Amino acid sequence: MLIIGCGNRDRGDDAAGILAAERLRSRGIAAEICSGESSALLEAWAGAAEVILVDAVQTGSPAGTVHMWDAHHAPTLHTSTGSTHGFGLAETIELARSLGRLPAKLKIYGVEAETFAIGSNVSPQVDRGIDEVVRRVLLELS
Amino acid sequence: MTVTGGRTIKVDTLARVEGEGALYIRMAGDRVADVKLKIYEPPRLFEAFLRGRHFSEAPDITARICGICPIAYQMSAVHAIERALGISIDPAVRLLRRLFYCGEWIESHTLHIFMLHAPDYLGYPDVIQMAVDHREVVDKALRLKKIGNRIVHLLGGREIHPISAAVGGFHKTPTRNQLRDLVEDLEWALEASLEAVRWTTTLPFPEFEQDYEFVALRHPDEYPFNEGRLVSNHGIDIEAAEYEDRFTELHVKHSNALHSVIRGRGSYHVGPLARFNLNFDKLPEVARKAATDAGLKLPVRNPFRSITVRAVELVFACAEALRVIREYQPPALPRVEAPNRTGVGHAITEAPRGILYHRYAIDDNGLITAAKIIPPTSQNQRRIEDDLREYAAQLVAWPLEEATLKCEQAVRCYDPCISCATHFLKVVIDRD
């Protein structure tokens, strides 16, 4: 099982995936940290059959809500950043699907984010959400 | 998308450009009455952030202007500051800076050719849809981009917003063996780039040519990155220090990015087409042959052909990277001392999307007292509007939806980086 936490440490709740990976590491679980940039992410999971991704998400739910999707069964993921030069996690997953490069099992834990303010800490609700992701991942591994 | 009264198309999100802006075209019958490239992204005020900071911070602060071309910002910053301080760099550092730029061009050009622009030519809404039918092309593009990332990571310490560039050199320079590790990848990349040139020639190109004033650096011995005189096909031949005498920035109400114009003349064209047309003879044989075999004839004046020219520049960047790696001997010191000294320095370097001008004034404590940064997209902004004015007129008989897509494609020929210039592009065509 490969665990990858994605995000940006310096953008508030966007650090959720990275913090989840670090908290798993502190419990002796190997976890990768990735910016979420597409070629890096495709490379990170190349050859892995089972992958868990953790990232911050925005769906309109209350901050800190933990979502879980199976990339093979979820409806097409879509982000509407209108962007640009940066490809987000959702686009990367869809690109991997087009290219036949999705891991056989890919589970995504999304922690509902509230703020992406530069330099801010994760919000308390998101902090609790990260702990819940860690608890659920540990449960899966046990 | 909404259609209002049959005469207005509104695309709320034009993807595949960097930044937030909108394009507005108003037609009065067969005539284009108004074209506005509206950049509403707020001004970013980097020039003001720089004032009062020590010059050694400028490469790291300006790298933050753009996630795609941070090296361009670092290179223009270090060269301008080195000129202000009157210091010269080790020839090995000069070589490494060329290699650093090769990495950025490979990343940026690959992204633009395959992910952002090719879907326009092939009629896909995005690269994700394109990848279903063109899996091999997209797979190769991802690998190519990764190779660019490797170069940037090795020299810059990390892939995005690298941290190793410094006034006087680098904080750390690589060993010969570290560079040799890149050779196998780069040899593959060179072949893949040659294939990319051939592939782009299979795309359908709109017939559209303009009498552009092309502006680019020109160096006596090499295809330009960091050095050279600024030249144009209409007689400009100046040093970076003279840039503000020949070019000026205008504020227009509809854009938060200033429009650059040539004083007394107007718009001009910077980027791959300009570099290629003005420096074809400086390309290595492998790139010249690829261009000729692809049917490119000088001067290339069809902006839609820029996709092939970018691919030729990919060939150049891979060949140049391999040359640098062959010749590289580590410098005695990663960087020369940069003492505090009063001075003013200017530099122009070739960012992937065109010339990037920086000017710094420094006081005797090494603090920046004034900074000026003119990114390529603000230099192309007026030219993009001029192109649209001509191009939209050719599309009057087209259904609005298709005309809109064509206009978006025309904008993307310039690979605009709106974040640099001041982020979404919304396109509206109004037909009276």
Instruction: Give the pLDDT confidence of B381-399 residue by residue, as tens digits.
Output: 999 999 999 998 888 888 8
pLDDT at position B417 is 77
pLDDT at position B15 is 44
Residue A84: left if φ>0, alpha if ψ -120 to 50, beta else—which one?
Answer: left
Residue B169: left if φ>0, alpha if ψ -120 to 50, beta else—which one?
Answer: left
Domain B1-45+58-210+271-336+385-432 has CATH 3.40.50.300: no
- Hunting for tokens 């075209």 — which residue is that? B25
Residue B357: C-alpha distances to residues B4, B85, B240, B345 (Å) = 42, 17, 8, 11
Its sign, for the CA torsion B169, B171, B177, B179, is: negative
Choose among A35, A86, A94: nearest Cβ to B128.
Answer: A94
B18-22, B237-241, B295-299, B314-318: lowest mean pLDDT where? B18-22
Note whether B129 contacts A: Cβ–Cβ < 8 A: yes
| Sheet arrangement for strand B343-351 | B343-351, B354-362, B368-374
The verdict on a CB contact (< 8 Å) between A39 and B18 is no
Q: How far apart are CA A30 and CA B134, in angstroms?
A: 35
Name the nearest CA neighbour of B307 among B139, B110, B144: B110
Residue A138 burial (CB count, 10 A):
13
Residue B287: C-alpha distances to residues B14, B183, B226, B281, B312 (Å) = 33, 18, 20, 10, 6
Choose among B16, B131, B146: nearest Cβ to A99.
Answer: B131
For residue A34, what is the nearest residue in chain B, using CA coordinates? B159
| SS3 call for B138 | helix
pLDDT at position B181 is 97
Distance from CA of B108 to the nearest CA of A (A): 9
* Residue spans per domain, chain A: 2-141
Share the mean pLDDT of chain B: 90
Q: How far apart are CA B270 and CA B88, in angstroms?
A: 28
Choose among B128, B138, B424: nearest Cβ to A91.
Answer: B128
Q: How far apart are CA B426 and CA B12, in angstroms?
A: 5
Residue B10: C-alpha distances to residues A104, B235, B378 (Å) = 40, 41, 24
Note whether B132 contacts A: Cβ–Cβ < 8 A: yes
Task: Look at residue B428 and tell me whether its pLDDT is greater than 80.
Answer: no
Its sign, for the CA torsion B390, B15, B47, B165, is: negative
- Burial of B326 (C-beta count, 10 Å sphere; 0-12/13-18/19+): exposed
Full DSSP string of B342-394: -EEEEEEEEETTEEEEEEEEE-TTSBEEEEEEE-HHHHHHHHHHHHHHHHHHH
Residue B210 burial (CB count, 10 A):
15
Contacts of B103 in chain A (CB under 8 A): none
Contacts of B159 in chain A (CB under 8 A): 35, 37, 40
CATH architecture of residue range(s) A2-141: 3-Layer(aba) Sandwich (3.40)
| Sheet arrangement for strand A2-6 | A32-34, A2-6, A50-57, A105-112, A66-70
For B149-205, what is each residue's pLDDT tens digit? Answer: 999 999 999 877 899 999 999 999 999 999 999 999 999 999 999 999 999 999 999
Choose among B20, B131, B146: nearest Cβ to A95.
Answer: B131
> Phi/psi at B229 (nearest 5 deg)?
-90, 155
Q: How far apart are CA B15 and CA A91, in angstroms?
A: 12
Q: What is the DSSP letter of B111?
A: I
Q: How far apart are CA B249 and CA B261, in angstroms?
A: 6
Q: How far apart are CA B118 and CA B111, in angstroms?
A: 10
Partners of B230 in the β-ladder = B217, B238
* Residue spans per domain, chain B: 1-45+58-210+271-336+385-432
Partners of B80 in the β-ladder = none
E-assigned strands of B29-116?
31-39
CB burial string B399-415: b at 16+ within 10 A, e below: ebeebbbbbbbbbbbbb
Task: Look at residue B10 and tell me whether its pLDDT is greater than 50.
Answer: no
The verdict on a CB contact (< 8 Å) between B142 and A42 is yes
Note whether B234 contacts A: Cβ–Cβ < 8 A: no
Which spans in A53-123 are helix H?
A: 89-99
Residues 297-356 of chain B with CB under 8 A from chain A are none
Choose among A40, A91, A99: nearest Cβ to B138.
Answer: A99
| SS3 call for B297 | coil
pLDDT at position B200 is 98
Name the nearest CA neighbour of B67 among B131, B150, B152, B139: B152
- Tens-binned pLDDT, residue by residue, of chain A (142 aa): 999 999 888 889 999 999 999 999 999 999 999 887 777 888 899 999 999 999 998 888 999 999 999 988 876 655 544 444 456 788 888 889 999 999 999 999 999 999 888 888 899 999 999 999 999 999 999 8
Asked if B403 and B30 count as a contact pair (C-beta separation under 8 A), the reply is: no
Choose among A42, A43, A99: nearest Cβ to B135.
Answer: A99
Q: What percent of chain B has pLDDT over 70?
A: 91
Interface test with B, best of A80, A85, A89, A102 (most B CBs within 10 A): A85
For residue A96, what is the nearest residue in chain B, using CA coordinates? B128
pLDDT at position A82 is 43
pLDDT category of residue B20 using cuts at 50, 70 and 90: low
Q: How far apart are CA A99 and CA A95, in angstroms?
A: 6
Task: Look at residue B42 and tell me whether its pLDDT is greater than 70.
Answer: no
Residue B305: C-alpha distances to residues B84, B276, B308, B344 (Å) = 39, 11, 6, 39
For residue A85, what is the nearest residue in chain B, using CA coordinates? B18
E-assigned strands of B227-302?
229-232, 237-238, 247-250, 259-262
Name the nearest CA neighbour of A66 among A52, A54, A84: A54
> Phi/psi at B427 (nearest 5 deg)?
-110, 130
Contacts of A82 in chain B (CB under 8 A): 13-15, 20, 423-425
B90-94, B295-299, B393-397: lowest mean pLDDT where? B393-397
For B104-151, what is each residue's pLDDT tens digit? Answer: 999 999 999 999 899 999 999 888 899 999 999 999 999 999 999 999
pLDDT category of residue B432 using cuts at 50, 70 and 90: low
Name the nearest CA neighbour of B200 among B99, B294, B308, B348: B308
- Hunting for tokens 């739910």 — which residue is that? A61
For residue B129, what is the nearest residue in chain A, using CA coordinates? A98
Size of interface A-B (CB pairs under 8 A): 56
Partners of B248 in the β-ladder = B261
Q: How far apart are CA A44 and CA B77, in angstroms?
A: 33
Average pLDDT over residues B212-233: 98
pLDDT at position B28 is 82
The verdict on a CB contact (< 8 Å) between A35 and B135 is no
